[in-house]
Amino acid sequence: MCRIGILTALLLFPIPQAIWAQEGIANHGAMQLHGQGVAGFHADFANLGPFESSQGLVGFYSDSGSLLVSGTDAPILYDVEFSSLKGIWLQIPLQIDNNGNLIQGDLITSRKAANGYPLFTYDSFYTGESSVSKVDGYAGMEHKQDFTFPVGDEARLRWLRLESQALNARVRCAYFSEDPADSPTLGLSFKSDPDATGLRISNSEFWKLDGDIPSRVTLSWDEQSNVSGLARFLADLRVVGWNRSSGTWEDLGNTQVDGGRDYGTLTSDTFIPGQYEIITFGGSTETDAFQVVELDNYYLSPNGDGRNETLEIPAAKEYADNTIQIYNRYGQLVFQQDHYTGGFDGQANVDLTVKRENGLEPGVYFYIITFNELRQQHQGYFYLTN
């Protein structure tokens, strides 16, 4: 195989009218790549004519800057590699028929107009998605029933999974790290009276998703999503969408929820994505029905003598779908953990005015542990001494 920085007749047969411009590469003719051919672009590429690789590998590479892919015709590529330190800007669709390898740097596309994006077709797939190699903007898929869009913002992978009841002709998806009540990118506001809808709406993020096939979506959340501010129990989270016709938020359901307060996923009921302008996380404004249980109080002395070393709550080991929070006497959060099964020994894991490694001061501390499955909240206090 040969790897070339400029596309020339070194492919399996002559490529007419493929010319080098000082600022990059432009194709004005009909380019093709066959067999085990390999072509590498190390400069901006303008595709102004048909470009198809039925086999072989095309790569876009930059060790120091960014690359731009533009033009009038969407390249149709088989295997593609993307490795650009500061990202690759797509101003036209780039069709991927087999594997799109996200090695380094984001694929950056416009969120104001979905006119440039990686387009995954039929049985194609991608590898290497991460916080530093994803689609920062729109991603598309074509002739697929199920697909996970590797979208996010500049710093975070915030994927969305689509599961449809039939093959989709074409669907596009983008993630927005913005308050849906005031989106500067879209120049729109998606705001309604929570008392009328009975829904709390995320104020930190949303996704745009089109498509006309009945589908379910799975949204991913992270620490910045603050889902605990939307619902007391994870089971009460909802996927919500802004209905284009009614101009209000609508509950799109919850068929499965996994994870904890900081990281997890939420799957909706079936709906038609194109009927909704945007979708995001929500929760009910109604008072959650839960039972508050007062637990025994504890004495902790983590001094190495083998007695009362850690905070052990028997129910936590039996029901691991829980979240524990520990507060000092001033109401400051000093420790929090999802799926707590024991082990707290007086060390904070939340940034405080004191250094974590020094351990917490002796005194009274309050704890609250929430069992999502049981819909119970247990609370009590313990005395910590050395």
Handedness of CA 374, 375, 381, 382 (dihedral sign): positive
Contact yes or no for 367/381 (Cβ under 8 A)? yes
Q: Which of 231-235, 269-273, 341-345 has the highest mean pLDDT?
A: 269-273
Using a CB cutoff of 8 Å and minimum separation of 24, what contacts does 142-147 make? 142/95, 142/168, 142/169, 142/170, 142/171, 143/167, 143/168, 143/169, 144/120, 144/168, 144/171, 147/120, 147/171
* pLDDT score recorded for residue 231: 82
Q: Which domain holds residue 329?
A: 291-384
CATH of residue 367: 2.60.40.3080
Residue-wise pLDDT tens digits, 8-25: 333 333 333 343 333 688
Q: Are residues 304 and 246 in the same domain?
A: no
Last residue of a domain, one of 241, 259, 288: 288
Confidence of residue 295 (pLDDT cuts 50, 70, 90): low
Contact yes or no for 237/230 (Cβ under 8 A)? yes
Tokens 């979208």 belong to residue? 151
Last residue of a domain, one of 288, 314, 346: 288
Report which residue type is found at 165. Answer: Q
Confidence of residue 357 (pLDDT cuts 50, 70, 90): low
Name 159's Cβ contacts closer than 8 Å, sequence gap at least 6.
129, 148, 149, 150, 151, 152, 220
Residue-wise pLDDT tens digits, 117-146: 999 999 999 999 999 999 999 999 999 999
Residue-wise pLDDT tens digits, 203-224: 999 999 999 999 999 999 998 9
Q: Which residues pair with 20 in a beta bridge?
A: 25
Confidence of residue 261 (pLDDT cuts 50, 70, 90): confident
Alpha carbon separation from 107 to 137, 153, 268 (Å, rounded) = 8, 11, 28
Q: Is residue 142 part of a domain?
A: no
Contact yes or no for 347/356 (Cβ under 8 A)? yes
Reply yes or no on whether the pLDDT at 168 is more than 70.
yes
Tokens, residue 89: 């800007």
Q: Are residues 167 and 228 in the same domain?
A: yes
Mean of the pLDDT values across residues 309-313?
Answer: 88
* pLDDT score recorded for residue 377: 79
* pLDDT score recorded for residue 171: 98
Q: Is 219 helix (H, G, I), strand (E, B) or coil?
A: strand
Measured between its terminal Cα atoms, the distance across the chain in Å is 67
Q: Which of 77-91, 224-238, 256-270 has the highest mean pLDDT?
A: 77-91
Beta-sheet pairing, 44-47 with 24-27: parallel
Lowest mean pLDDT across 52-56, 108-112, 177-181, 287-291: 287-291
Q: Which residue has the higher pLDDT, 6 or 342?
A: 342
Confidence of residue 273 (pLDDT cuts 50, 70, 90): very high
Q: Which of 161-170, 350-359, 364-373 has the highest mean pLDDT?
A: 161-170
Contact yes or no for 298/311 (Cβ under 8 A)? yes
Residue-wise pLDDT tens digits, 182-203: 999 999 999 887 777 789 999 9
Q: Are residues 363 and 268 in the same domain?
A: no
Residue-wise pLDDT tens digits, 37-69: 889 999 999 999 999 888 899 999 999 889 999
Q: Are residues 167 and 284 in the same domain?
A: yes
The reported pTM is 0.76
Name 157's Cβ contacts closer than 8 Å, sequence gap at least 6.
129, 130, 131, 134, 150, 151
Q: Are residues 283 and 295 in the same domain?
A: no
Residue-wise pLDDT tens digits, 227-245: 888 887 787 899 999 999 9
Last residue of a domain, one of 259, 288, 317: 288
